[in-house]
Structure 1
Amino acid sequence: MSLTWLDEPTVEAVRAALRVVAPHLAGGTIVPRGLEPSDDPRWCAASAVVDGRFVAKFAWAEPPARRIRHQIRMLEVLRTAAPRLPLPVVVAASGSPAMLVTQRAAATPFFDVRHAITPAARPAAADDLAAVLAELHDPRVLAAVSEAAGPLPGPMEHASTDTLRARFGALIRPDQRVLVSFWCDRADRVLAAPGRTVLVHGDFHGDNHLWDRASLRLRLVVDWETAGPGEPEFDLRCLPGDCGMDLFTATVAAYERMSGTTLDMNRIMAWHLRTVLGDALWRAEAGVALPDHRTPAQWVDDLEARFAALGLVSGAAPSGTGAARARPPRRPSREPPPEGGAPA
């Protein structure tokens, strides 16, 4: 598949691309999302709602165009390799220009419904999250996808612990700096040895799994452009912040039951640490507000509460790796901030 991309980030350029990729949609109403110029070619991509019924993803630089082409291939092979996954319905796809058009689902991002998931609704929500991840992480899925698609890229890099030690301290209170350094040291030890390798979504945060607002059931998983080989714990790294600790630990328990495998809670939290602090770091240094409009220091307070809920506090030995061995929270947890990244 040859690869080209839009000349510029404009509605007119999107319409011209639709004339090539999906001519029957080119005359429709186009409502762009994230259509802003960027100095960094990696992020020269956006999406648009077309006629209120379709979503078009497109790029105006090579790196995101490659990601769109990769997502097109992933959706194609996953329909056979993992048929129970709730995937978007593809309407049109092209590598020249790079564009993916899918049906717009009557569903809403998890961030918009998580407050409505009561203790009574929690088991079903945990089962939905776990079922998607257990299906995706089945070793047979990686084998089938690799055979069909060839070599796959790994997940996108996150901020290293060296970067966090060197630059994050300037954003937080002096009393938090030793704690962050300790967490980074522990993450290095935990992740020193490689984990199991499965196919991961790579960006499984609350804007990329969509839910039915009435039934509070998971309907769709979107944005497969970073799917590739990785460890299962990497795909759960956003859940402690996105879901809150009760739903997170319920999801881990459901995953272990469904998959017959054990997740390492220490590895999940090591990736969680790097994801949360890395997100706060780049936003602060770029002058971009955190999603919940709080401060990096407050996010560190949230992290401390999550580690405490699992018994991972002040250098104490971990209480265990599986969800069944995690201790309950010692104090009520606060509503977590949406720490996932940009929406699909």
Structure 2
Amino acid sequence: MRWLEDGSAEAVAEALGKVGLGGHSVVVRESVGDDPLWWSASAVVGGRYVVKFAWSQPAALRLAHEIAVLAALRPAVPFLPEVVASSTDPVLLVTRLVPGEALFDVVDSLDRDQVGRQLAEFLGELHNQAGHDYPAASLQPATTDVLREQFPRWTRPDQRADVISWCDWADDVLRTPGPQVLVHGDLHGGNQVWDGGKLRVVVDFETAGLAVPEYDLRTFPGTGPGVELLTATIRHYAQITGRELSVERAMAWHLRTALADALWRSEEGVPLPDHRTPQEWVDDLRDRFAALGISINR
């Protein structure tokens, strides 16, 4: 396995020539940080394709994993990107560009029940895949120990006891083992392309691996107003698969995800995605627990 020398458009164009796609324009569209772990990006190629590439070993290993996952899942799982070319020398993944918008950008204009139905179709098939030697998913959110220690400084005094209680509750919920299935691992709205109210493609399978199915729902309560997307997805998932998902387990992962995101952004001086405050995010979490009828009394 080999990776690119750097993340320049010139290096990408040279690599594309090795998979028969030379001569196209290359527009790099993602920036990266200083950590070699994240030395990867994507680019639009000739206005027709998207290429993912890496210029460090850790990033190349993640991309090689995604290439293998997509090859194993097709054609059983719907809404996968169409692979045009792939390579491990250098590591490169080229998929067809799909027009549309990220769910984050259009969710307020969509029927959440219909969105939940289509996401349940995708998740039902994905979680049903077996017979392949998938690794455990790399679980991203900060641990509750970290959140208990570091997050309260970003809250109001009246919120601190709630945050601690929620972390204790999440530990209790997640302590009970659940079934291990193949999860996408990073199924937020930016990794979904929607057009005309229809899900066109789900992208970015670099973190796919084995985990409890509810891990894939961890961003849903914060996508759009209220919790309707979460409840609609859970309802349709049960109808499609005959398997029940735990709203409590989904919310325990959501709690860890939301607080972890707010924590690292606040400590690094990076604005939260909606440009609000950690205190407002905590208020949102309280509202979501109430809307779902989850009472956490300690």
TM-score bucket (shorter structure): over 0.9
Q: Over aligned residues, Cα RMSD in angstroms?
A: 1.5
Range with bigger deviation, 26-35 or 299-308: 26-35
Q: CA deviation at 1:198?
A: 0.9
Q: TM (normalized to structure 2)?
A: 0.95
Cα distance, 1:39 vs structure 2: 2.2
> Which residue number in structure 2 is paired with residue 7 of structure 1?
5
Mapped partners of 1:222, 1:264: distance in 2:
25
Residue type at the aligned position of 2:289:
F
Q: Does residue 1:30 correspond to 2:12, yes or no?
A: no
Deviates more, 1:286-295 or 1:264-273: 286-295
State the AA in 1 paired with 2:281: W
Q: Distance in 1 between matches of 2:267 and 2:109?
A: 33
Does 1:236 pair with 2:217?
A: yes
* Structure 2 portions without partners, runs of 5+: none
Matching of residue 162 in structure 1 with residue 145 in structure 2 = yes
Whether the 8 Å contact between 2:194 and 2:200 is mirrored in structure 1 is yes
Q: Cα offset for 1:107?
A: 2.1
Equivalent residues, number: 297
- Please tell me the residue identity of whatever aligns with 1:10: S
Q: CA deviation at 1:151?
A: 4.4
Equivalent residues of 1:158, 1:274 under 8 A apart: yes
Q: Offset of 1:286 from its aligned partner?
A: 2.0
Match of 2:118 in 1: 128
2: distance between equivalents of 1:8 and 1:106? 28
1:185 aligns with 2:168: yes
The answer on 1:227 being equivalent to 2:212 is no
How far the C-alpha of 1:314 sits from its partner, in A, is 4.6
Q: CA, structure 1 residues 43+156, in 2 after alignment: closer, same or farther (shift >3 Å)?
A: farther
Counterpart AA for 2:190? D
Distance 1:42 1:108, change over 3 A: same
Note if 1:67 corresponds to 2:62.
yes
Residues 66, 153 of structure 1: CA spacing in aligned structure 2 closer, same or farther, 3 A cutoff?
farther
Query: For the residues of structure 2 that align with 1:156 and 1:182, how far apart are their CA atoms?
Result: 22
Q: Which residue of 2 aligns with 1:86?
A: 79
Distance 2:190 2:159 in 1: 29
Bigger drift between 167-176 and 69-78 goes to: 167-176
Match of 1:17 in 2: 15
Q: 1:302 to 1:85 in 2, by over 3 A?
A: same
DSSP-derived class of the 1:301 partner? helix
Instruction: Report the Cα distance in structure 2 between the residues aligned to 1:183 and 1:123, rounded to whole angstroms.
Output: 28
- Measured at CA, do residues 198 and 314 of structure 1 come closer, stay the same or move farther in structure 2, by a change above 3 Å? closer
Distance across 2 between alignment mates of 1:91 and 1:156: 29
Q: Give 2:244's aligned residue.
A: 262
Separation in 1, partners of 2:223, 2:160: 24
1:173 counterpart (156, 173, 176) = 156
User: How many Å separate the matches in 1 of 2:104 and 2:212?
Assistant: 24
169, 176, 190: which one aligns with 1:207 = 190
User: CA–CA distance in 2 between the matches of 1:61 and 1:153?
Assistant: 22
Report the Cα offset of residue 35 of structure 1.
3.0
Q: How far apart are the structure 1 equivalents of 2:57 and 2:40?
A: 10
